[in-house]
């Protein structure tokens, strides 16, 4: 008996906004069937959760999922959780090298592999520690601070002794969450008309580390407040992803006058150091030093595009 | 008998273009007199040469000069050459700490202290070696390549084994000079209508190091050609100095996708390493591995503003 497999397929490059419908604009929906016979060297993976991060706007193909059944029974047990770039579908047939077993550190949960112990948490870790090189006493700004990466980045800065950790987010609720739940020293709603003044007020010693997920006007405002030898870890530019004509940082001459290092990075470059990072992150998570933030969209596979950033996000 | 001292004084911030006249727009001219008695702890310095570099557009105050007479006779001999931030005047009275004796390495000349063995040569040295971290096999682009800093930066890249050193300059003559006199592998006149295509053609392996003096459209074009892990040493932004609304690099998202490090620097930050740098630069100069490029404007002190970049330079 053949089982069906619904798939969301990628049809056209956004131009520039994503069409969140499934009507063959950006995406389409189709139903295929799973073969009766799974090749001996493949694993049949049932997709339980898809993780959607802003960076995927730039890939538009890869995502992660969890597993169910296999013919590689010596290496994968039916029902084990794995993480993989499965595609947006209900089932994926993947080679052994394409799936990674989820190891759950003590005090953590399997779902953590999609957040703090996954790509977003690792991105926060390497961006804040290796690129931003945060040190005790620093003033740290995180944009997109209420997001999966930003929220962890800010918490890591606090763990490492930053003097002031300030989050930029897009609503008063998110700002309250950052201050009250995650221990940020301050949070600024960049939709407030006076957000630049607020930024100035909370950075009396200027900005040592900027962990940027947003770009655009926010990057410019932070350059204007850069401290001597500041490190700007450029993680993303969500405000620009849908822009036909991206906006460069007009204040980039501060890069010269304040000797700013602006460095882009991608988490995969640090793959060799994942084990160390996961050990630290798992420990902090178990100790409650890092708090989880999850946003789960229900409604099955068809709801997946709802998880995409709206065209207005971050602008 | 009191001697007169003509001085060019800085009157107003350019708004945004420099007024090169001496009619109290940006600058004014005044005549003072030199005191009969030079305090015991001061040196009277006669200004023979003023050095004008693009970066001075950002300072508009400091410049260098050479010496003539003194009351610190144990430490300074009359007629010795010194280098100092003298101001734009015929004579300056300076403390012992404000003047630096010119040491001329074997095979070099006193004037070299204003070019290769001065701030511009040191800027090229630290920018190419410490910030750009050039290594054998690299493709290196230098903008403002025919200038005092750029011309040395490109030559240092060749000395260090770069595979391709390409200069960007603003005239066909300058391009010929770079290729024929200084040994650049290629040179592009950014006033050619197809300069971006030329840039693409000469960077088949993309750009590892960009030493940027210009900014604006040139920085954008080089970001578009950045290699993975490229280092962009941001030395200056001459195209933007006179812009009321500076233009940021619109392609800055390449910083993320190619993991570019864009780092601003200022030569003074490397002061502790000047002796090492001067030893290397003096050796290369004496060996003929670095060729000098001097542009001397005659006409006395009043001609000084002619040395300033024209508002159209670099755009």
Q: What does the pLDDT look like over A210-264, one tens digit per residue?
A: 999 999 999 999 999 999 999 999 998 888 776 777 778 888 889 999 999 999 9
How do A261-264 and B226-234 pair as beta strands?
unpaired
Indicate the pLDDT class of residue B166, thresholds 50, 70 and 90. very high
For the segment B182-203, the average pLDDT, to the nearest whole number, is 97
Which DSSP state fits A23? Answer: B
Cα distance from A6 to chain B (closest Cα, Å)?
A: 32
Does residue A296 sit at the B interface (CB-CB below 8 Å)?
no
- Here the tokens at position B90 are 């015929």
For the segment A19-30, the average pLDDT, to the nearest whole number, is 86
Q: Which residues contact A305 (CB under 8 A, 6 or more apart)?
A: A8, A18, A20, A21, A22, A26, A27
User: Which of B126, B100, B125 minimizes the C-alpha distance to B113?
Assistant: B100
Question: Tell me, which fold does domain A119-268 have in CATH?
Answer: Rossmann fold (3.40.50)
Across chain B, mean pLDDT equals 86
For the segment A84-101, the average pLDDT, to the nearest whole number, is 81
H helices then E strands: how many in chain B? 8, 13
What pLDDT does A70 receive? Answer: 53
- Here the tokens at position B204 are 């088949």
How do A226-234 and A207-212 pair as beta strands?
parallel
Indicate the pLDDT class of residue B245, thresholds 50, 70 and 90. confident
Structural contact between residues B157 and B188, judged by C-beta atoms closer than 8 angstroms? no
Q: At what angle do helices B148-159 and B274-286 cross, to 10 degrees?
A: 80
pLDDT of B60 strictly over 80? no
Q: Which residues of B touch A231 (CB under 8 A)?
A: none
Does residue B235 sit at the A interface (CB-CB below 8 Å)?
yes
Which tens digit of pLDDT belongs to each residue from B9-43?
888 887 777 888 888 888 888 888 888 787 777 87
Question: What percentage of chain A exceeds 70 in pLDDT?
Answer: 90
Indicate the pLDDT class of residue B56, thresholds 50, 70 and 90. low
Which of B246, B253, B260 faces A240 most closely, judged by CB atoms? B253
Which tens digit of pLDDT belongs to each residue from A100-137?
888 888 899 888 988 899 989 999 999 999 999 999 99
Tell the burial category of A180 from Cβ atoms under 10 Å away from its Cβ (0-12, 13-18, 19+): exposed
H helices then E strands: how many in chain A? 8, 13
Which tens digit of pLDDT belongs to each residue from B89-101?
888 888 878 888 8
Does residue B255 sit at the A interface (CB-CB below 8 Å)?
yes
E-strand stretches of chain B: 3-10, 27-34, 42-46, 69-70, 82-84, 91-95, 99-101, 139-143, 164-169, 186-189, 207-212, 226-234, 261-264
- Here the tokens at position A274 are 């994942």
Mean pLDDT lowest for which of A308-312, B12-16, B267-271? Answer: A308-312
Which tens digit of pLDDT belongs to each residue from B85-141?
778 888 888 887 888 888 888 899 888 988 899 989 999 999 999 999 999 999 999
Does residue B236 sit at the A interface (CB-CB below 8 Å)?
yes
Evaluate if pTM is beyond 0.90.
Answer: no
Q: Which residues of B touch A259 (CB under 8 A)?
A: 263-266, 269
Instruction: Return the CATH architecture of domain B3-102.
Output: Alpha-Beta Complex (3.90)
What pLDDT does A73 receive? Answer: 66
User: Which of A84, A2, A1, A73 minimizes the C-alpha distance to A46?
Assistant: A84
Which tens digit of pLDDT belongs to each residue from B247-268?
788 888 899 999 999 999 999 9
Which tens digit of pLDDT belongs to each residue from B139-160?
999 999 999 999 999 999 999 9
B264·A255 Cβ contact <8 A: yes
For the segment A86-112, the average pLDDT, to the nearest whole number, is 83
Structural contact between residues B148 and B125, judged by C-beta atoms closer than 8 angstroms? no
Structural contact between residues B63 and B87, judged by C-beta atoms closer than 8 angstroms? yes
Cα distance from B5 to chain A (closest Cα, Å)?
A: 33
What pLDDT does A92 receive? Answer: 82
Helix/strand/coil for B144 = coil
Helix/strand/coil for B304 = helix
Helix/strand/coil for A166 = strand
Q: CATH 3.40.50.720 occupies which residues in chain A?
A: 119-268
Which tens digit of pLDDT belongs to each residue from A277-286?
999 999 999 9
Provide the phi-psi class of A216: left if phi over 0, else alpha when psi is between -120 and 50, else beta: left
CA–CA dist B149, B266 (Å, integer):
12
Q: If you search the block for the tokens 């971290």, which residue do you land on? A: B133
Q: Which residues contact B240 (CB under 8 A, 6 or more apart)?
A: A253, B215, B216, B246, B247
Structural contact between residues A239 and A221, judged by C-beta atoms closer than 8 angstroms? no
A253·B237 Cβ contact <8 A: yes
What pLDDT does A312 receive? Answer: 45
User: Which of B23, B17, B27 minimizes the C-alpha distance to B313?
Assistant: B17
Bridge partners (DSSP) of residue B93 are B44
Q: Compute how many other C-beta atoms are within 10 angstroms of the C-beta atom of residue B222.
A: 27
Q: At what angle do helices A148-159 and A274-286 cross, to 10 degrees?
A: 80
First and final C-alpha spacing in chain B: 50
pLDDT of A188 strictly over 90? yes
Bridge partners (DSSP) of residue B195 are none
What pLDDT does B230 receive? Answer: 98
User: Does ipTM surpass 0.90 in this model?
Assistant: no
Interface A-B, measured as beta-carbon pairs within 8 A, has a size of 98
The total number of residues written for chain A in this structure: 315
Indicate the pLDDT class of residue A58, thresholds 50, 70 and 90. low
CA–CA dist B212, A59 (Å, integer):
30
Tell the burial category of B165 from Cβ atoms under 10 Å away from its Cβ (0-12, 13-18, 19+): buried
Which DSSP state fits A266? Answer: -
B256·A245 Cβ contact <8 A: no
CA–CA dist B14, B85 (Å, integer):
21
User: Which of A220, A157, A214 minimizes the C-alpha distance to A185?
Assistant: A157
Indicate the pLDDT class of residue B76, thresholds 50, 70 and 90. confident
Helix/strand/coil for B155 = helix
Which of A58, A249, A259 faces B264 most closely, judged by CB atoms? A259
Bridge partners (DSSP) of residue A29 are A8
Q: At what angle do helices B119-126 and B148-159 cross, to 10 degrees?
A: 40
For the segment B202-226, the average pLDDT, to the nearest whole number, is 96
Indicate the pLDDT class of residue B276, thresholds 50, 70 and 90. very high
CA–CA dist B174, B191 (Å, integer):
12
Helix/strand/coil for B54 = coil
CA–CA dist A67, B28 (Å, integer):
78
Indicate the pLDDT class of residue A64, thresholds 50, 70 and 90. very low
- Here the tokens at position B71 are 């009351």
Across chain A, mean pLDDT equals 86
Helix/strand/coil for B180 = helix
B260·A264 Cβ contact <8 A: yes
Q: If you search the block for the tokens 């002794």, which residue do you land on? A: A161
Tell the burial category of B71 from Cβ atoms under 10 Å away from its Cβ (0-12, 13-18, 19+): middle
B248·A252 Cβ contact <8 A: yes
């Amino acid at each position: 008996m053949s089982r069906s497999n619904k798939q969301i397929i990628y049809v056209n490059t956004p131009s520039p906004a994503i069409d969140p419908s499934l009507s063959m604009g950006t995406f389409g929906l189709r139903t295929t069937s799973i073969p009766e016979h799974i090749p001996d060297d493949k694993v049949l993976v049932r997709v339980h959760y898809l993780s959607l991060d802003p960076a995927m706007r730039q890939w538009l193909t890869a995502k992660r999922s969890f597993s169910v059944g296999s013919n590689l029974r010596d290496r994968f047990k039916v029902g084990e959780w794995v993480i993989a770039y499965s595609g947006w579908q209900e089932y994926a047939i993947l080679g052994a090298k394409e799936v990674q077993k989820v190891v759950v550190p003590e005090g953590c949960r399997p779902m953590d592999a999609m957040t703090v112990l996954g790509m977003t948490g690792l991105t926060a870790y390497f961006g804040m520690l290796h690129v931003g090189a945060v040190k005790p006493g620093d003033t740290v700004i995180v944009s997109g601070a209420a997001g999966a990466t930003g929220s962890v980045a800010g918490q890591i800065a606090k763990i490492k002794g930053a003097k002031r950790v300030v989050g930029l987010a897009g609503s008063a609720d998110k700002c309250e969450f950052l201050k009250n739940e995650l221990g940020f020293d301050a949070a600024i709603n960049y939709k407030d008309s006076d957000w630049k003044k607020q930024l100035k007020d909370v950075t009396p010693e200027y900005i040592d580390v900027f962990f940027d997920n947003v770009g655009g006007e926010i990057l410019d405002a932070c350059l204007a407040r850069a401290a001597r030898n500041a490190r700007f870890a450029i993680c993303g530019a969500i405000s620009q992803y849908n822009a036909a004509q991206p906006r460069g940082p007009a204040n980039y001459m501060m890069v010269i006058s304040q000797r700013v290092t602006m460095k882009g990075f991608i988490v995969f470059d640090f793959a060799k150091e994942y084990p160390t990072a996961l050990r630290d992150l798992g420990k902090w998570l178990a100790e409650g030093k890092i708090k989880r933030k999850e946003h789960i969209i229900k409604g099955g596979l068809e709801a997946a595009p709802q998880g995409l950033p709206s065209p207005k996000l971050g602008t």
